[in-house]
Every structure is written in C-alpha cells, then in structure tokens.
Amino acid sequence: MLQSLYVIVFLLSFVGVVVLGWCYLKFEALDLRKESKSVLREQAQLAAELAQFQLVLANGDRQSQKKARDIFEKTFLVLISKTSISALDPYAGIGPVTLARLKANGHQYLHSLTTAKLDAIEGIGSKRASDIRLAMTGLYQELRSRLESGRCPESGELKLKLKSLHGETEKQKSLSQKKTDQAKARFQSLEPAVTAALTVTFIRWLFNQPMADSIPVEKSLPDPENETDFVLEKIESTGEKIPPKPQNPREALELLSTVVLTETLVRTQWKMLLDKYDTDRFAQYGLEFVDLAKAKQDLVNQGAKHLLRELGVDPMAEPAVRDLRENADLDAAFGL
C-alpha cells in the first residue's frame, strides 16, 4: 500500500512538472513576454553603455595629458639626437680637449652620451666624467626650456602635434558626450516600458494576476557613428534629401589606397556594403533615410563596377568559382 502511494505521488509530481514546464514554454512564446525581455535587455545594455561613456569622459583628460607628455618626450629625444656635444662647451669642466676625446670615441651628438660609459673613455677620469654628466643635466634643462618656450625648430612640430591631439581629444569628448546624452534620453524613455515589462512574470500569468497588456516602446534613433552616420550628417546639416558627396571608387567601397585590389576583394566589399545600406533597414526611420540609403547604394555600385573594369573583369559576369582543392603553393611544394 505504501509503495503504491509512493508511485502515485511520483506520477502526480511528474505530471505536475510536465504541465508546469509546458505552461512555462507557452508563457515564453507570448509576444508580450518577448517584448518585455527585449526591453529589459535593452535597458541593461544602455546601462552598460552609459557606464562606459562616462568612464571615457572621466578619463579623457588624463589620457590626453599622458599622450601630450609622450609626444613631448619623443620630440625632446629628437632634439637631443640632433644636438651636437659641442653645446656642452659653455659648461664648467668641459673644454675643447674633452670634446675632442668624446668625438674621437664616436660621440658626435648628445643622445649618444646618455648610455655611454664615460669613465671608460681614454683620457677621461671619474672627475671629468662627473663634470660631463653635470653639464648634460644642465643642457637637458636648457633644451627642455627651449622646446617648451618655442625657441627651437622642433617647437613648431611639437605645437602642431599637440594641437592635433587637442582637436582629436575634444572631438572624442564631444562624441562621447553626445552618445551619453542619447543613451540617457533613451534610458529615460524606456522607464514606462520597463515598468510594464516587470509586471510580465510567469507567476502573474499562471495565476491570472494583473499585468501589462502591452509594452509601450518607442523606436530609438540610429547611432550617428554607426551604419546611418551619413544619413544623420546630411539631415542635421541641410534638412534636405541630398545624396552623399561623390567619392572616388576606393572611397565608395571604403578601401584604403594602399590595399591591393583583387576581384574577390572588390566583390566581397561590394556585397557587404549593399547589405549594410539595405533600404529595408532604414524604412522605420522615414523616407529621408531610405532615399539617402539608395544614394549610398548607387555610389557603391558605381565604385565597384569601375574597379572591376579596371581589373579587366566584367562587373555583371558571374564570379568564377574556385575549386577549394586547388592550391598553387602546395602543388609547387609537392612537385605537381
């Protein structure tokens, strides 16, 4: 009797688990459940992006200062590599004889003395080596002062590099701030949807408890640094349906001038960009986006056809299918 009771309990438990599992799968298949999971996933992704953007903004100045120091030090190394050891002459303990001995040992420029074993040079004792090191320290300080105050030719190059770094840093900060603002705005706009999504739970659905009937989600605008960058740039600057500016064939296919072109490379890039600017992906954002995507596709088509003709290939011909077993290098190695 007791054994039969155990069997009945087991069967009832098994049936209960099966029914519960079936109910859970049915719950997961609901469109409302899918929408709620999508909203919660997007909220978590936005939170991670916000943390990343804020970290970039917080560390931007620090990284920029480090890069500026690196640029300065590299320019300073260039300066001392061009400075003759004759510049040490005005310093105490350094005279023509000492300079002649240094030059005779192959030390023509200041940078070569940095790692030199001065005590080992014939005619230069420990006292004279100490004088040379002291003079080098003073000359280094003088050269740094000249570089910082713009009193040497290398200062102009340094100024240009630092100006370029500043512009790049400001651009990066502006972009990060823009992305941060966009992410915050989107995060806030998701609050009603998240509130509704949190009510869509298996327990509420199973016991028919109140939960949201729908998830009020607004479509987000595309990322200006992603696939629709050319679209937003045109809309923000003109507000009109203007096609992208003409590009040369390589630029149209986003290929560097140093890349060696092949038929396979051109066709692969052609297909990839047509997929990237597929008009169906832009339809949700309005006709302006669709028109500009079409214009971008036209540029890609023109560029790809032009490059293929330069390679002596008919753009409309079907690409040759290569036998994967063919390998000229292996054939040569095995003498085939």
Which residues lie across from 109 on neighbouring strands? Answer: 84
C-alpha distance across the termini of the chain, in Å: 81
Confidence band of 241 (pLDDT split at 50, 70, 90): very low
CATH of span 230-310: 1.10.287
pLDDT in tens, 1-42: 677 888 788 888 888 888 889 988 998 999 888 888 888 988
pLDDT in tens, 147-169: 999 888 888 989 999 988 888 88
Would the pLDDT of 321 be above 70? no
Output the six-digit token pair for 228. Answer: 């629709």
Distances (CA, A) of 133 to 86, 98, 117, 121: 14, 13, 11, 14
Q: What whole-number distance in Å separates Cα of residue 249 and Cα of residue 306?
A: 7
Confidence band of 125 (pLDDT split at 50, 70, 90): confident
pLDDT of residue 278: 85
Q: Is 180 exposed, middle or buried (0-12, 13-18, 19+ CB in 10 A)?
A: middle
Confidence band of 145 (pLDDT split at 50, 70, 90): very high
Look up tokens 């630029």; give the residue.
251
pTM of the model: 0.49
For the chain, the structural domain boundaries read: 31-220, 230-310
- Over the chain, what is the mean pLDDT? 80
Q: Each residue of 240-254: b (16+ CB within 10 Å) or e? A: eeeeeeeeebbebbe
